[in-house]
Amino acid sequence: MKNIKIYNSKVLFLLSFIMLALVGCERDLSDDAVPATFSTIGDIFTDNFVAMGTDFYLPFADSKLDAFSVDDEEGFESSASYRVDVPNADNPNGNYAGAILRVDGAGRDLSGYDALTFYAKASQGVNLGEVGFGLDFLENKYQVTASNLSIGTNWTKYTIPIPDASLLSEERGVFWYSTGTQNTGGSGYTVWFDEMKFEKLGTVAQPRPKILNGQDQFLETFNGSVLPIGGLTQTFNLASGLDQVVAAAPGYFQFTSSNTSVATVNDLGVVTVVGPSATDPDTGEFIPTVITATLDGVVAEGSLSLVSLGPFTEAPVPTQSPENVISLFSDAYTNVPVDYYNGFFNGDGQTTQGGAPPTNVGGGEVINYTNLNFVGIGTFLNVQPIDATQMTHLHVDINVQEAIDSGDFIRLQLLNGVQTSNEISGSRTIPGTELAQNEWRSFDIPLGEFSGLSTRDALGLLFFISDSTISNIYVDNIYYYKEVVDPSPNVDDSAATQVELPIGFESSLTYNFVGFEGADTAVESNPDQSGINPTATVMRSTKTVGAQFFAGTALELDAQVDFSTSQKFRMKVWSPKSGIPIKVRFENAGNTVGIELDSNTTTMNEWEELEWDFSDLNTSASFVRVVVFFEFIPGTPGDGSTYYFDDLKILE
Amino acid sequence: MKKVSIITCSIILGSVFLFTSCSTDENQTVTTFDNLVKSDEFNSVSAEVPDSNMWNFDIGNGAEQGIPGWGNNELQYYTDRPENVIVEDGMLKITAIQESFMGSGYTSARLQTKDKFEKKYGRFEARIKLPWSQGLWPAFWMLGQNSDDVIWPQCGEIDIMENRGQEPTIINGSAHGPGYSAGEAVTKAYELTGDRFDTGFHVFGIEWGENYINYYVDDVLYNQITPDDVSGEWVFDQPFYIILNVAVGGNYVGSPNENSVFPQTMYVDYVRIYE
């Protein structure tokens, strides 16, 4: 409602200006035209508010709304000041103080000033979070932010320089601040401001603007990339001889591209790559396009040199049905909330850049990790960890942007129960031989291959780890999915002459098996001849109360398993629990060689067919025993649950 | 003896902390010197080097003169390279550079007129835009012509202008003599309001006559020093020569820090001497 009112008055003002102009048409040319001007009042709060109108205090929506008051006792050489009571971190009404002071009415002409100044003191020495001006909750076009001003307990004058005052001919956002208790251990404090005003000091000098924090960055990218230029600051030397750095909005800068047929840059400092870079005919190397900026005519330190490799080939479009997918990052699915796509664990030696935010290339979002050594996608801080118990695979598409050397790899690591006493993790390494330079490679990794990840009900971190062997990758379509196995035909082994795969327990042969470590096993009638398994006879495995978590059933085979044409093992299972891992292990006669994988149940109290894909394991040994472990979770003893399995086979 | 006196008299621009009172201002002698007897307008378009008929270079870090750090623990190595001193755009530019050179971490330049232009009494002024940053120490100053023959500060030193780079609004004018030198010199600061010395040109000068030295910035006369103000012998009755330099670091100004910006240039539009 307030906003509407304000806009109306603005419209009215414009109308009156237009009418003036119309009237002006009747004047002689020699008459001086008087341009519209705005109030040049610099004062904001001296002993009280100055010319701010009525509704000028606009707190941040999630701050403690009433943190501000006018103090009638404290003041700098006066008895009035602008008082901010920063709440304790656990205050239910808001854990920080923040507001803008916006002129209720037409903006001010601040072009004759060079700084916002104020006196401030605090109830204890603090670093004030952020303070500045130009924030108006409208365009915020000329926002200025000074961070971490050190405020002591005595009145001291502070100077926040204006990056380029000539632009501030109509500014309504004359003051803003936001400060919490991050630096006080959660304890609230009081800050007093007084003599808040814009001044022409004449001593604000030696401007040194920067973009990209003064760095000269280099980037290889593609047509369609959208790259916001950040790290925008202006630094002035003050009369004290000390520098004051402020973050300055893009509106203060004039951005330039050295070649607009490759990349354009708009007023907000957002670069759009529009065409491929040319190559130098002599050297064959790409000619970079350089993005630079000036502020009030001064060349900013820092630049972005980019090379566009041309059209970006997007990752293959995923084909999994959405109802079987939990997506972390994909344009094809609705993604679950994540804490971040790059945790920047710099204190732990992380060098990886990118992912925050994902880049936009050619209309689709993609993550570009550079300087990769390791990087994590987090889902454990402020979002729900991912329950992937029903999922069977992790999918990820990776496009390596460099030559791949022998020994290069990317290791995926999943952590469950992050920062809890039950934190566990499992890893799966993608060797460099399965990756390709400048080409997408898709991976569908059975979650059972993340050895050690015995539960996945609260996945909190997915790491990409290269140990710097590979440093620049695009990543897309990161999601978990449930592979829906089309049930294979029931096994009729009634005529079998020896116990060998496939096995349906329908023959009169003697099955040589054992339940161990607390598992009780027998060949029995199918208790649930419905659904996908109407056959008569199945194998039971009961994990008795108190059985070892590694209790299971071993079945001896009379002939070795033939993995020569397929490495996919299938089995029908019946479980009273959904989402528990079933480990299948093949062993040679002496159990000197064994391979094993997990697959999770996705239903309960009904037959389902699961798949264990041993393609990535060495299946060359003479395996003559198959061992089945239900709910193989370290530390989880048997609870008396009864499981059934049937139709063991290598998929044709 | 002669060499020793050179060494000692070169210890100059010592740290000054004393601020004299303004009481003599009310009775100060004001004399008008308006007959231009010597000037360098630095307007040469052909030669980029300072006029050798007027200027000598002091080269090195002071070690050759027996006073490494020029007596003040200064950090710069003075050269006559065009990177450090050049006449162009109608100005003399003395540039302090952060670089490793002959064992020093900075280079700069120092020009003086010893044996080429020396004068007793008159109006000595220069129009200068100062460098800035913590650790910069630009100066426009004079030493007595017998600096080679007597021990400093017997020769006398008149600092028309010296500045600490971290004090962009303040310059100091001083006089050093026997009994009142270095930290005990007679000195006074002048502070600009609403302006600074590194963003535009300002005129720094003295009017010097028998028994007085008047100090001014632009059109503001801010101090007068007379024999009554000094606690020792008045030694300002002989010809003096002129020095222009930009020092880096040292006792007076402190070292540059991580926020210091290099290179830094002192721009001298002209030096004029009237009588």
Q: Chain B closest CA to A242's CA: distance in Å?
A: 7
- Res. A372 pLDDT band, cuts 50 70 90: very high
- Res. A260 pLDDT band, cuts 50 70 90: very high
- For residue B167, the chain A residue with the least C-alpha distance is A241
* Average pLDDT, integer, range A325-345: 95
Q: Chain B closest CA to A243's CA: distance in Å?
A: 8
Give the pLDDT score at B31: 60
Give the pLDDT score at A25: 44
The mean of the pLDDT values for chain B is 90
Q: What 3-state DSSP class applies to A301?
A: strand
The total domain count for chain B is 1
Nearest to B168 among A200, A205, A208 (CB): A205
Q: What 3-state DSSP class applies to B180?
A: strand
* Average pLDDT, integer, range A110-133: 97
- pLDDT tens per residue, range A313-322: 889 999 999 9
Touching check for B261 and chain A: CB below 8 Å? yes
List the single range of A27-36, A167-176, B113-122 with lowest mean pLDDT: A27-36
Nearest to B196 among A200, A239, A243 (CB): A239
Contact (CB<8Å) A237/B168: yes
Other Cβ atoms closer than 10 A to A113: 21
Give the pLDDT score at A29: 54
Q: Chain B closest CA to A201's CA: distance in Å?
A: 5
Touching check for B168 and chain A: CB below 8 Å? yes
- For residue A203, the chain B residue with the least C-alpha distance is B195
Q: Within 13 Å of residue B179, how many CA atoms lie on the same side as its CB? A: 8
Q: Which of A199, A200, A201, A203 to mutate to test the interface with B (most CBs of B within 10 A)?
A: A203
pLDDT at A447 over 60: yes
In chain A, which residues touch B (CB < 8 A)?
200-203, 205-206, 208, 237, 239, 241-243
- pLDDT tens per residue, range B206-244: 999 999 999 999 999 999 999 999 999 999 999 999 999
pLDDT at A23 over 60: no
- For residue B169, the chain A residue with the least C-alpha distance is A239
- Res. A492 pLDDT band, cuts 50 70 90: very high
Q: Which residues in chain B have Cβ-Cβ distances shorter than 8 Å to A204?
A: none
In contact, A587 and A623? CB cutoff 8 Å: yes
pLDDT at B1 over 70: no
* Average pLDDT, integer, range A403-430: 94
Contact (CB<8Å) A237/B169: no
Q: Chain B closest CA to A22's CA: distance in Å?
A: 42
What is the span of the domain harbouring residue B61?
2-274
- Res. A34 pLDDT band, cuts 50 70 90: low
Residue B273: name the closest of B158, B187, B171 by CA.
B158
Contact (CB<8Å) A205/B199: yes
Q: Which residues in chain A have Cβ-Cβ distances shorter than 8 Å to B167?
A: 241
Domains and CATH numbers, chain A: 1-36 (no CATH), 40-199 (2.60.120.430), 212-231+252-308 (2.60.40.1080), 322-481 (2.60.120.430), 513-650 (2.60.120.260)
Could you tell me the two tokens for A553? 């059933």
Residue B104: name the closest of B58, B60, B164 by CA.
B60
pLDDT at B2 over 70: no
- Print the SS3 string covering B201-249: CEEEEEEEECCEEEEEECCEEEEEECHHHCCCCCCCCCCEEEEEEEEEC
- For residue A242, the chain B residue with the least C-alpha distance is B166
Question: Is B118 assigned a catalytic role?
Answer: no
pLDDT at A158 over 70: yes
In angstroms, the CA B60 to CA B231 distance is 34
Catalytic residue among B26, B99, B118, B162: B162
Nearest to A205 among B165, B198, B259 (CB): B198
Contact (CB<8Å) A243/B259: yes
- Res. A28 pLDDT band, cuts 50 70 90: low
**How many Å is the Cα radius of gyration of chain B?**
17
Number of CB pairs < 8 Å for A and B? 38
Catalytic residue among B125, B157, B184, B207: B157
Residue B93: name the closest of B215, B169, B201, B172 by CA.
B201
Nearest to B132 among A200, A201, A206 (CB): A206
* Average pLDDT, integer, range A185-201: 96
Q: Chain A closest CA to B194's CA: distance in Å?
A: 4
In angstroms, the CA A122 to CA A129 distance is 13
Q: Which of B166, B169, B197 to mutate to test the interface with A (most CBs of A within 10 A)?
A: B169
Q: Chain B closest CA to A300's CA: distance in Å?
A: 15
Give the pLDDT score at B215: 97
CATH number of the structural domain spanning residue B21: 2.60.120.200
Q: Which residues in chain B have Cβ-Cβ distances shorter than 8 Å to A241?
A: 132, 134, 164-168
In single-letter form, the type of residue at position A394 comes to: L
State how beta strands A115-122 and A189-199 pair.
antiparallel
* Average pLDDT, integer, range A545-554: 95
- Res. B149 pLDDT band, cuts 50 70 90: confident
Length of chain B: 275
End-to-end Cα separation, chain B, in angstroms = 34
Q: Which residues in chain B have Cβ-Cβ distances shorter than 8 Å to A206?
A: 132, 198-199, 261
Q: In chain A, pLDDT over 70 holds for what percent of residues?
A: 94
Give the pLDDT score at B47: 81
Nearest to A203 among B133, B166, B194 (CB): B194
- Res. A354 pLDDT band, cuts 50 70 90: confident
List the single range of A80-89, A525-534, B10-19 with lowest mean pLDDT: B10-19
Q: Which residues in chain B have Cβ-Cβ distances shorter than 8 Å to A236?
A: none
Q: Which residues in chain A have Cβ-Cβ distances shorter than 8 Å to B164?
A: 241
Q: What 3-state DSSP class applies to B174?
A: strand
Q: Which residues in chain A have Cβ-Cβ distances shorter than 8 Å to B193?
A: 202
Give the pLDDT score at A529: 95
Contact (CB<8Å) A241/B168: yes
- For residue B197, the chain A residue with the least C-alpha distance is A203
Q: Chain A closest CA to B166's CA: distance in Å?
A: 4
Could you tell me the two tokens for A542? 């009961």
Question: Is B157 assigned a catalytic role?
Answer: yes
Touching check for B53 and chain A: CB below 8 Å? no
Residues 88-117 of B with CB under 8 A from A: none
- pLDDT tens per residue, range A134-154: 999 999 999 999 999 999 999
Q: Chain B closest CA to A400's CA: distance in Å?
A: 39
State how beta strands A303-308 and A216-221 pair.
parallel
- pLDDT tens per residue, range A53-76: 999 999 998 899 999 999 999 999
Residues 175-234 of B with CB under 8 A from A: 193-196, 198-199
The mean of the pLDDT values for chain A is 91
- Res. B30 pLDDT band, cuts 50 70 90: low
DSSP B8-50: HHT--S--------SGGGGG--------EEEEE----SS--S-
Contact (CB<8Å) B196/A202: yes
List the single range of A156-160, A222-226, A377-381 with lowest mean pLDDT: A222-226
List the single range of A301-305, A402-406, B22-26 with lowest mean pLDDT: B22-26
- Res. B104 pLDDT band, cuts 50 70 90: very high
DSSP A198-224: EE--S--B----BSGGG-EEEEEE-TT
- pLDDT tens per residue, range A580-621: 999 999 999 999 999 999 999 988 999 999 999 999 899 999
pLDDT at B201 over 60: yes
pLDDT at A367 over 90: yes
The CA–CA distances, whole Å, from A625 to A309, A390, A508, A511, A516 equal: 54, 28, 19, 12, 14
Touching check for B166 and chain A: CB below 8 Å? yes
pLDDT at B24 over 60: no
Q: Which of B196, B259, B260, B262 to mutate to test the interface with A (most CBs of A within 10 A)?
A: B196
List the single range of A150-154, A246-250, A448-452 with lowest mean pLDDT: A448-452
Q: Which residues in chain A have Cβ-Cβ distances shorter than 8 Å to B165?
A: 241
Q: Chain A closest CA to B132's CA: distance in Å?
A: 8
Contact (CB<8Å) B194/A241: no
> Does the CA dihedral A268-A271-A275-A280 come out positive or negative?
positive
Q: Which residues in chain B have Cβ-Cβ distances shorter than 8 Å to A202?
A: 193-196
Give the pLDDT score at A174: 97
- Res. A371 pLDDT band, cuts 50 70 90: confident
Touching check for B134 and chain A: CB below 8 Å? yes
- Res. A20 pLDDT band, cuts 50 70 90: very low
Q: Which residues in chain B have Cβ-Cβ distances shorter than 8 Å to A242?
A: 166, 259
Contact (CB<8Å) A239/B198: no
Q: In chain B, pLDDT over 90 holds for what percent of residues?
A: 80
